[in-house]
Amino acid sequence: MNRDAIFDQPVRYIKGVGEARARLFSKLGIRTVCDAVNYFPREYEDRTKVKKITEVMDGEECGVCARLISDIAETRPRGNLLITKALVSDGTAFMSLTWFNQGYIRNTLQKGVDYIFFGKIKRTGMRIEMNSPVIEKADQSGKNTGRILPVYSLTRGLTQTHLRNLVENSLKIVRDKLEESLPDDLRKKYKLSQVQFAYEEIHFPKSLSNMETARRRLVFEELLMLQLGLIRSKGVNTQLKGIKFNPVDMGPLLEKLPFSLTNAQKKVFEEIRDDMTSSRRMNRLIQGDVGSGKTIVAVMALYMAVKNGCQGAFMVPTEILAEQHYKSVASLFESLDIKVSLLTGSTKKKEKGKIKQLLKEGKVDIVIGTHAILEDDTEFDRLGLVITDEQHRFGVRQRAKISAKGENPHLLVMTATPIPRTLTLVLYGDLDVSVIDELPPNRKPIDTYAVDESYRQRIYNFIRKNVAQGRQAYIVCPLVEDSEEISAESAEGLAERIRDKELKGLRVGLIHGKMKAADKEAVMRAFVRGELDVLVSTTVIEVGVNVPNATLMVIENAERFGLAQLHQLRGRVGRGEHKSYCILFNQSSSELSRQRMEIMTKTNDGFVISEKDLELRGPGDVFGVRQHGLPEMRIANLYRDIDILKEVQSAVKYIMNNNLLGDERYKSLTDRLDRVMNEKFREIAMN
């Protein structure tokens, strides 16, 4: 059998695994021998500790080597309960053992024979007991006792023993076939163990420090593949030459603003300016919490491009957002004699044609719009800067598509998703990152309350009171069971109920993901114009939409949302002069939910929130991550492994800067990367 065939063998053919068990393994994602050895333990049980009976302590888990000195006694206090008892001694003391409903014990143990018993000690005065210990003959120990055992995540019908046997047998098959994908120089530089050591010691470690060493290597490798894979699938060459802009006097633009820039805005713009005046093309991400003032920074970059004789494109994910940006930006630019056009899906055909013509001739300086900008017949005369707002809505491919409309135009992407630092490094490994870490002055914090069902009537009264004062409210229903269908129904149900009952008399609108885009836009517009008092929605409410008159955000089943997502939703209010509130209905009584809600009520800082979320729930639930199609990690923990990630980052730089992916010594790494990308990055590449 060739190497691939060995790794690709279905587990069905492995000793002790049949058709039925193979089906159970496949529920865990284990189909092949390769899957099996890459199914890493969740934790470990250290069974190396063996003590004398006199030394054991109450509550301790340990092994005892002792001889069976009594007969096996069985009693049946109730029909369905069998109790088995035995007495053992190791010469220092006695210990009594008890099992429940384990009829086989009678035939397993023999009087006068030495065994290792492993379990939890119960010690009351002189009496020492162990319940349902693991048993191994002393002269045959080493499989289930006397060593560190892996603990795997299971599914119903499988036991640890099933998995341990599967992995052990799979390891036997591939042990000598494991290929070292990390080149020697890299392993030396970053002190990484060899592949065979890593796989053996991660599953059946001889010591916990061996396990740590093994884990470090595997985490490093996984993160390295992820980073190289992302860079490669994006096809972004970070070292591309760009259009070298000249510095521009920003005075005329800044004079027109009714405010002065925050220090954070100034700092970030300087970074942008440095990029655009270098000979390298800019490839930068701006992260800034909702309301931090990203738009004006984008406008400044556009101004600089135009003053350098170039055109700029500003892409946003929805029509409403495009219109809002157009409204606020166009008049500012027109007063500076800069021509701005709006291009969206609903721009009339004739008008569209005209705008495209002007763009092509270079008579429009800036185009603001949606995906319509990406259409094949949108051409530019001299595109110098492309900005995408709320970047997680745009795939990499779309970014690539628009930048192909110019010659290496500078790229700026903006996001309000406060992604924790680690994830930023992973997801945007190819981008330089700027953070606007300061809100404009005089922002009123949004008061947030976490409440339970008993508050429902009071909350509806509160909505009425706000509406009576001329304000508007959002009520957000969660995504149910990951199904937009069911969620839409639940939102519909809620809207109907409150229209007829609790909020009778108010104008209640509904918006959900199952509606046609045009219908969604129509409802959203009505809300923007103040023709609706309350908007019930699933999580589709558009990012970035600005309705300053909305002051109340009510979130149903808040416990089901990621914190960062709650924070984004909360950012829909507090955008005007009026005091705003966010009400979180927490329908769960779990301690974790309570903690998470408390974080929301205590802080308005998106980065703090997303870090906490990552810590409490893991990366899969951090908002924005799914949209990126971040592949699931097998062993790396993006929260805990930040130190390794930083080393990986430096390794990636080293590899890219020295062009090592094409190097003969790095062939095994490149091959491995190809394979990993085939498996994991299909989705990302499709975007």
Q: Which residues are at the interface with ligand ADP (CB under 6 A)?
A: 259, 261-262, 265, 288, 290-296, 416, 440
Burial classification of residue 347, based on how many CB atoms lie within 10 Å of its CB (0-12 exposed, 13-18 middle, 19 or more buried): buried
Sequence letter at residue 258:
P
Contact partner at residue 259 from ligand ADP, Mg ion, none, CB < 5 to 8 Å by partner kind = ligand ADP
- By beta-carbon distance, which residue lies closest to Mg ion? 544
Residue with the shortest CB distance to ligand ADP: 293
Nearer to Mg ion, 148 or 285 (CB): 285
Nearer Cβ to Mg ion, position 414 or 555? 414
662: amino acid identity, one letter: G
> Which residue lies nearer to ligand ADP by CB, 261 or 685?
261
In this structure, are residues 639 and 219 in contact, taking their beta carbons and an 8 Å threshold?
A: no
Closer to Mg ion at the Cβ: 66 or 564?
564
In the three-class reduction of DSSP (H, G, I as helix; E, B as strand; rest coil), residue 135 is classed as strand
| Rounded least distance, CB 312 to ligand ADP, Å | 16
CA–CA dist 638, 466 (Å, integer): 42
Query: Among Mg ion, ligand ADP, none, what binds residue 262 when CB lies within 5 to 8 Å by partner kind?
Result: ligand ADP
User: Among candidates 466, 455, 447, which has minimal Cα distance to 549?
Assistant: 466
Helix pair 591-602, 563-570: axis angle to 10 deg: 40
Using the rule CB under 5 A, which residue among 63, 369, 544, 562 binds Mg ion?
Answer: 544
Q: Closest approach of Cβ 437 to ligand ADP, in Å?
A: 12
Q: Minimum distance from CB of 259 to ligand ADP (Å)?
A: 3
Question: In Å, what is the CA distance from 86 to each residue of 68, 91, 98, 129, 454?
Answer: 7, 16, 7, 10, 55
Residue 330 burial (C-beta neighbours within 10 Å; 0-12, 13-18, 19+):
middle
> For residue 674, what are the contacts with CB-CB under 8 A and spacing of at least 6?
none
Q: 100 has which bridge partners?
A: 83
Q: Which is nearer to Mg ion, 146 or 544 (CB)?
A: 544
The CA-atom distances, in angstroms, between 342 and each of 15, 387, 399, 492, 564 are: 66, 14, 19, 33, 31
CA distance to 5, 197, 491, 509, per residue, from 480 (Å): 42, 44, 10, 20
C-beta closer to ligand ADP: residue 291 or 345: 291
Q: Which stretch binds Mg ion (CB under 5 A): 120-128, 241-249, 447-455, 543-551?
A: 543-551
Say which entry of ligand ADP, Mg ion, none residue 293 contacts (CB below 5 to 8 A, set by partner kind). Answer: ligand ADP
Least distance CB 534 / Mg ion (angstroms): 24
**DSSP secondary structure letters along 157-203:** T--HHHHHHHHHHHHHHHGGG----S-HHHHHHTT---HHHHHHHHH
| Helix (H) / strand (E) containing 155 | none
Number of residues interacting with Mg ion: please give it, by CB under 5 A. 1
- Could you tell which of Mg ion, ligand ADP, none binds residue 317, using a CB distance below 5 to 8 A set by kind? none
Could you write out the three-class secondary structure of 476-535?
ECCCECCEHHHHHHHHHHHHHHHHHCCCCCCCEEEECCCCCHHHHHHHHHHHHCCCCCEE
Partner interacting with residue 290 (select from Mg ion, ligand ADP, none; CB below 5-8 Å by kind): ligand ADP
Q: 41 vs 544, which CB is nearer to Mg ion?
A: 544
Which partner in ligand ADP, Mg ion, none is near 403 (CB below 5 to 8 A by kind)? none
Residue 548 site contact among Mg ion, ligand ADP, none (CB < 5 to 8 Å, cut-off depends on kind): none
Beta bridge partners of 534: 473, 508
Give least dist CB 542 to Mg ion, A.
11
255 vs 376 by CB, closer to ligand ADP: 255
290/528 with CB nearer ligand ADP = 290
- Cβ 390 to ligand ADP shortest distance, Å: 9
For ligand ADP, the closer CB: 180 or 438: 438
Q: Minimal distance in Å, beta carbon 291 to ligand ADP?
A: 5
Instruction: Residue 59: count other Cβ atoms within 10 Å of its Cβ.
Output: 9
CA 510 to chain centre: 29
Least distance in angstroms from the C-beta of 263 to Mg ion: 19
CA distance 439 to 292: 5
Query: Which among 353-361, 374-382, 395-403, 538-546 is the span making contact with Mg ion, rule CB under 5 A?
Result: 538-546
Which is nearer to Mg ion, 317 or 544 (by Cβ)?
A: 544
Q: Does 293 bind Mg ion (CB under 5 A)?
A: no
Cα 379 to Cα 304: distance, rounded to the nearest angstrom: 21
- Please, what is the minimum distance in Å from the beta carbon of residue 332 to ligand ADP? 10
d(CA 234, CA 223): 16
CB of 299 to ligand ADP, least distance (A): 9
CB of 271 to ligand ADP, least distance (A): 16
Q: How far is the CB of 436 from Mg ion (least distance, A)?
A: 11
Give the residue with the Cβ less far from ligand ADP, 265 or 586: 265
Name the 3-class secondary structure at 293.
Answer: coil
The binder of 261, among ligand ADP, Mg ion, none, by C-beta within 5 to 8 A per type, is ligand ADP
Residues that bind Mg ion (CB under 5 A): 544
